[in-house]
Amino acid sequence: MRNVVSGLLVLLACIATAAAVPIRWADSQLHSAAYADTMRSLPQDSQVHRALVGLITNGLESSGQQVPPGVMSIITAQVPVVLNTPEATQVWVDATLLVRDQLLSGRGGEVAIDVSELVQPLRERLRAQSIPLPPLPKEYTRVVVMNDQSVAQAREAARFIDDTAPWIWIPPAILLALALLVSKHRWVTLAAVGIGTALAALVAIYALGAARDQYVAGIAEGPTQALALAIYQSFANSLRTNLLTLLTVASVVALIGLVLAVAMKVIRRSNGSAAT
């Protein structure tokens, strides 16, 4: 009976630990500078460059502007140059912080990023080369990154995170302590917790890919979807780093537990042999 109870506690401890990492990560993204740090690298992402070029191209074509191939090549070459400047990075961070604030405020439906301020430095560079860039229609500078349904789900998740993040590490600690107290073989139990947590971390890492497909499914294909995907990948990479840290720590715990379990078994055998 003790083995069954200990096994159940181990299982719950592994699940609780693996769930705690994304919740603490999300709380940090929502309420600290970690969000800005995650967003800061995106203007240097080639996927963002292509998305902005696509938005400009589609915007010009929709307004009836004919873009010569040579001019389009210049635009394509200048976009990375513009986005790699500190000024563009700050503009991007400020725009995405507004998105976070809109999401947390509970006001409005779909969430969009205004990229018009990123286009303005490009327009000035092109003007210096005597290449005019007409104003783009608003629908091509307002990039929807979350539709109404996704926003509703995200706000529910944010409320849940606010409620649970302060105490999220308490259940795993209690479950682990109980599992070790109940178990007859504590080092084996510790190794089992490490192995189980490592497996749970791997499942969570794999789930990031499935969540990506679900996230972009509700966003229209094209540059907007590409930009939304780049944003998702930036967050996913940040969370993946935390999960990989958990995987590493859990693997070390499992190894320590196995080594100590074997060592204790050898010591008991040696003591038994000495006694006889």
The 10s digit of each residue's pLDDT in 149-202 is: 777 788 888 889 999 999 999 999 999 999 989 888 889 999 999 999 999 999
- In this prediction, residue 61 carries a pLDDT of 78
- In this prediction, residue 257 carries a pLDDT of 92
| Residues 76, 118: Cα–Cα separation, whole Å | 14
**Closest-CA residue to 140 (of 222, 82, 81):** 222
**Tens-place pLDDT, residues 42-68:** 888 888 888 888 888 888 777 676 667
91-104: average pLDDT = 83
Q: Report which secondary-structure segment, H or E, holds 22.
A: helix 2-31
Confidence of residue 109 (pLDDT cuts 50, 70, 90): low
- In this prediction, residue 21 carries a pLDDT of 95
Q: Beta partners for 146?
A: 111
Residues in the chain: 276
- In this prediction, residue 108 carries a pLDDT of 62
Where are the strands (E) in 108-249, listed by range?
Answer: 111-114, 142-146
Sign of CA dihedral 257, 175, 12, 252: negative
- In this prediction, residue 103 carries a pLDDT of 77
Least confident of 37-46, 67-76, 234-243: 67-76
Sign of CA dihedral 167, 173, 179, 181: negative
Q: Beta partners for 112?
A: 144
- Alpha carbon 71 to its chain centroid, in Å, reads 36
Least confident of 30-39, 218-227, 242-251: 218-227
Q: Beta partners for 144?
A: 112
pLDDT at 218 over 70: no
The CA-CA-CA angle for residues 226, 232, 238, to 5°, reads: 140
Where are the strands (E) in 110-172, listed by range?
Answer: 111-114, 142-146
If one counts every other C-beta atom within 10 angstroms of the C-beta of residue 156, the result is: 10
Distance set, CA 138 to CA 88, 101, 111, 135 (Å) = 19, 21, 15, 9
Determine the residue type at 13.
A
If one counts every other C-beta atom within 10 angstroms of the C-beta of residue 80, the result is: 17
- In this prediction, residue 98 carries a pLDDT of 82
CB 129 within 8 A of CB 74: yes
Does the pTM surpass 0.85? The reply is: no
Burial of 145 (0-12, 13-18, 19+ CB in 10 A): buried
Q: Beta partners for 113?
A: 143
Tokens of 56: 């400009």
Q: What is the mean pLDDT of the chain?
A: 85
| Residues 5, 176: Cα–Cα separation, whole Å | 12
The phi and psi torsions of 79 (rounded to 5 degrees) equal: -55, -50
| Residues 112, 220: Cα–Cα separation, whole Å | 13
pLDDT at 276 over 60: no
